[in-house]
């Protein structure tokens, strides 16, 4: 197998190379041949250099275009989500604060037996706020946020995933404290060993686990958050590294009510009675946070559509011409926006949570 790896190692796939950046450029030879890098790549490299003007060791053998991609596309300079934007999920917020935010803010207190796990898994149905939690953690802990979807590593970065993973962890270690959020982590760390599993995806997984191991043992302030709606597909190695596993369930009645109010109030459109809000909440059992957002959006079109029906032209329509959003708007919207999660899926999460989840 070693020979095969060697041969593959030299293969540079014909994707994502921009102009004069051939994909063969490493920083070492880039240093000798600076013209090979375009201005934006150079700027990006400069920002990562230490006070001595040198690139940190970890980044030296990586391709500049991958480092640039991580810095520009994966690194999010302003995640812009706060705890108070997230409805419900009090248990998750409490766990995350203790396990992640305090240690990132006060590393000196979280040493030795208090040293935190470096891997967190958020699992549950889609659209329930897992990504929001990741962003909020970065915001609250004043950490740099990196977002990558694991499926893009296998689909968009065919054959280059390993290198991108190295660049990702390399840049993160220069930007500590850092939070690396890996969406759909099951597609990277799944236990499926089908015959069709490619050598390349096995290597990608190994590389990923090696990188995790690296910062787990060191004093680096990097937290890895994996998110998945298929936790049952994760294998034992993945579970072992994602030490804290939090179930992010569908929003409760109170959380749904909060989402409706919060979104409408932001636009000055909230005028529902408590009774009407309760009715909407009763009718939206099983809706995810994301479904609720879509429902509110659809309902908020009601007053606009009605005003236009009365003959007012869209160009002349004033905000004052529109009535507030009411229960009937929601009842209509409920016909359009159906829940995206089937209730029988939930049993799988509950069972997995009982077996592997962090319950307290
Ligand atoms: P996930 O990562 O679990 O698939 P996201 O965090 O991306 O879901 O949520 C998608 C959108 O749904 C968010 O941008 C937000 O508008 C809404 N949403 C989901 N869950 C919540 C929540 N608990 N509180 C407020 N909004 C939510």
Which ipTM did the prediction report?
0.98
Taking each helix axis as running N to C, give the angle between helix 199-217 and helix 2-9, from 0 to 180 degrees, rounded to the nearest 10. 90
The helix/strand/coil state of 262 is helix
User: Are the C-beta atoms of residues 190 and 233 closer than 8 Å to each other?
Assistant: yes
The Å distance, Cα 133 to ligand 1 centre, comes to 9
Least confident interval from 214-223, 243-252, 329-338: 214-223
| pLDDT score, position 340 | 95
| pLDDT score, position 14 | 37
Q: 135 CB under 6 A from ligand 1?
A: no
Residues 129 and 101: their CA atoms lie apart, in Å, by: 17
Q: 290 CB under 6 A from ligand 1?
A: yes
Q: 128 CB under 6 A from ligand 1?
A: yes
The CA-CA-CA angle for residues 224, 92, 86, to 5°, reads 95
The Å distance, Cα 273 to ligand 1 centre, comes to 25
Q: 227 CB under 6 A from ligand 1?
A: yes
The Å distance, Cα 85 to ligand 1 centre, comes to 10
User: Are the C-beta atoms of residues 182 and 228 closer than 8 Å to each other?
Assistant: no
Closest CA to 64 of 148, 167, 161: 167
Least confident interval from 27-36, 170-179, 183-192: 27-36
Nearest residue (CA) to ligand 1, atom 18: 289
Q: Give the global pTM.
A: 0.84
What is the band of 211 on the pLDDT scale with cuts at 50, 70, 90?
confident
Residues 57 and 54: their CA atoms lie apart, in Å, by: 9
């Amino acid at each position: 197998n070693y020979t095969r790896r060697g041969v593959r190692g030299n293969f540079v796939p014909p994707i994502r190379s921009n102009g004069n950046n051939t994909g063969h450029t490493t920083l070492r030879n880039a240093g000798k041949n600076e013209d090979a890098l375009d201005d934006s790549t150079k700027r990006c490299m400069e920002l990562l250099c230490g006070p001595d003007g040198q690139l940190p060791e970890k980044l030296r053998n990586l391709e500049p275009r991958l480092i640039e991609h991580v810095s520009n596309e994966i690194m999010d300079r302003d995640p812009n989500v706060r705890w108070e934007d997230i409805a419900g999920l009090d248990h998750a917020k409490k766990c995350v604060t203790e396990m992640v935010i305090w240690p990132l803010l006060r590393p000196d207190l979280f040493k030795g037996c208090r040293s935190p796990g470096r891997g967190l898994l958020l699992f549950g149905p889609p659209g329930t706020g897992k990504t929001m939690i990741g962003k909020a953690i970065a915001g609250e802990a004043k950490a740099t946020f990196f977002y990558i979807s694991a499926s893009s590593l296998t689909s968009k970065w065919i054959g280059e995933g390993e290198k991108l993973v190295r660049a990702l962890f390399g840049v993160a270690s220069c930007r500590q404290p850092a939070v690396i959020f890996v969406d759909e982590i099951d597609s990277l760390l799944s236990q499926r060993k089908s015959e069709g599993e490619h050598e390349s995806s096995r290597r990608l997984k190994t590389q990923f686990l090696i990188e995790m191991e690296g910062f787990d043992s060191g004093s680096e302030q990097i937290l890895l958050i994996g998110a998945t709606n298929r936790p049952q597909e994760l294998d034992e190695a993945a579970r072992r590294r994602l030490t804290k596993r939090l179930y992010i369930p569908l929003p409760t009645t109170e959380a749904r009510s909060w989402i409706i109010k919060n979104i409408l109030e932001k636009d000055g459109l909230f005028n529902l009675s408590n009774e009407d809000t309760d009715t909407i909440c009763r009718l939206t059992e099983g809706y995810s946070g994301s479904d609720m957002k879509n429902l509110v959006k659809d309902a908020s079109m009601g007053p606009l559509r009605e005003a236009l029906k009365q003959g007012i032209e869209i160009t002349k329509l004033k905000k004052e011409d529109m009535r507030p959003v009411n229960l009937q708007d929601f009842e209509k919207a409920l016909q359009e926006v159906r829940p995206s999660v089937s209730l029988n899926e939930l049993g799988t999460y509950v069972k997995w949570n009982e077996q592997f989840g962090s319950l307290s």
